[in-house]
Amino acid sequence: MKLLVGGLALLLTAAAPVPSQNWKLTPTGWGPAKIGMTRAQVSKALKTRLEGEPIDDEGTCLELVGADDALPGLLFLFEENKLSRISAIEPSAVATPRGVHVGSTADEVRKAYGAGIKSEPHHYEDPPAEYLTYWLDPGRRGVRFETDNHGRVDSIHAGTSSIQYVEGCA
């Protein structure tokens, strides 16, 4: 009986998705967390509570993190209660399907994404800091890499046109 109960517990644990650093950050989401989901759906999919405060006066724009540091270095942006962007902001194993991660160089981004990458000046830092954006669906779904003044990626934003936001939901 003990073996049966232990086996059942192992099976149930294996069936539940656990946040994985092996999931790839894409314009459609990260693991089971998909762009367009509600906060409750993302929390359920990632098996962790998301917490944070509204970042606008209306309370319709929220940037949330995993409770108890469950998802270190990841931010989840919700507009009108729908996930619009996932951001990686700290060096970790979180990467795009093309292998780009926080800490990669701008040259590695260009090599990985080729002619489809669009460069724009950074709003707050001097060159060589820049925004490198790749659109899967132009203006609707993409990934944006922010580089610092050393030419290294310091954040990655994936999702809707919200990847272009500089502060909050604007």
The C-alpha atoms of residue 170 and residue 160 are separated, in whole angstroms, by: 13
pLDDT per position as a tens digit, 122-166? 999 999 999 999 999 999 999 999 999 999 999 999 999 999 999
Contacts of 5 (CB under 8 A, 6+ apart): none
Q: Count Cβ atoms below 10 Å from residue 140 Cβ, excluding itself.
A: 11
Q: Which domains does the chain have, with CATH numbers?
A: 19-164 (3.40.33.10)
Q: Count Cβ atoms below 10 Å from residue 90 Cβ, excluding itself.
A: 13
Say what the pTM is.
0.87
pLDDT per position as a tens digit, 71-126? 999 999 999 999 999 999 988 889 999 999 999 999 999 999 999 999 999 999 99
- N- to C-terminal Cα distance for the chain? 58
Contacts of 18 (CB under 8 A, 6+ apart): 47
Q: Within a 13 Å sphere around the CA of 27, how many CA atoms are in the beta-carbon half?
A: 17
